Amino acid sequence: MILADQVAVVTGASRGIGRAIALSLAEAGAYVVLNYRGNQTAADASLAAIVEGGGRGELSQFDVANESEIEQAVKKIVDGHNKIDILVNNAGVTADNLLMRVSPADWDQVVGTNLKGTILCTKVVSRHMIRQRSGRILNISSVAGQMGNAGQSLYAAAKAGIIGFTKTIARELASRNVTANVIAPGFIETDMTAKLSDQQREKFLQLIPLGRFGTCQEVGDMVVFLAGEKAGYITGQVFGINGGLYM
């Protein structure tokens, strides 16, 4: 197993892409700490799926936008496992609307979780990676942060911010053998895309050269590769998993 004896933290791991990432890391041999904020039932199900597959892990409940909660959670993880090798900042929310209709509450929620959450979790965890002189940080952005998407001004801004942030920390942490990269999914088969009407789905498929939506497993596979030894000379890069929607 390419990630045997590695300790990975995945934020927003109770469902969708986060759950698939956690499962993929566990299958590769990592001990996975699954973060969630409020959906205990979904988090339990994700951990159960890991255990049923022969993997190992635990749950960690904290709000990624709350630095004190992150610090407490990370301290507990490090006290229990002596290290954190992999951090996947996946937690994210949307509040889609036209710019003229977004509210300050929408801004606080979307930017707070997607961008601030990524920054705070990285800030806290990277301290330990610096001491270890090793680590992998993988931040989940979106194709919306690269090309924009009508009705997603807040989400696109937050996801674009993740790209700039990651390139910066990649430079700051490189001397300590800590890499930082971005994965930017396009349309992925999740609960969110399942809500699209047949007309909406067909419209989006026409924009994708490969003619299909991606799978959560494909995102998980990329995370496993970038977290492994073979990706040791890769940092500050953005990896699109979008079927050619953005090139």
The residues that are catalytic are 155
d(CA 45, CA 123): 29
Q: Comparing C-alpha atoms, which of 115, 152, 139, 241 is closest to residue 190?
A: 241
75: Cβ contacts below 8 Å, ≥ 6 apart: none
Specify the residue for token string 């390419």. 2
Three-state DSSP class for residue 150 = coil
- Between CA 59 and CA 16 the distance in angstroms is 16
With the CA atoms of 152, 158, 162 and 163 taken in that order, what torsion angle do they form, in degrees rounded to the nearest 10? 50
Residue type, 73: A
What is residue 97's three-state secondary structure? strand
CB atoms within 10 A of CB 168: 12
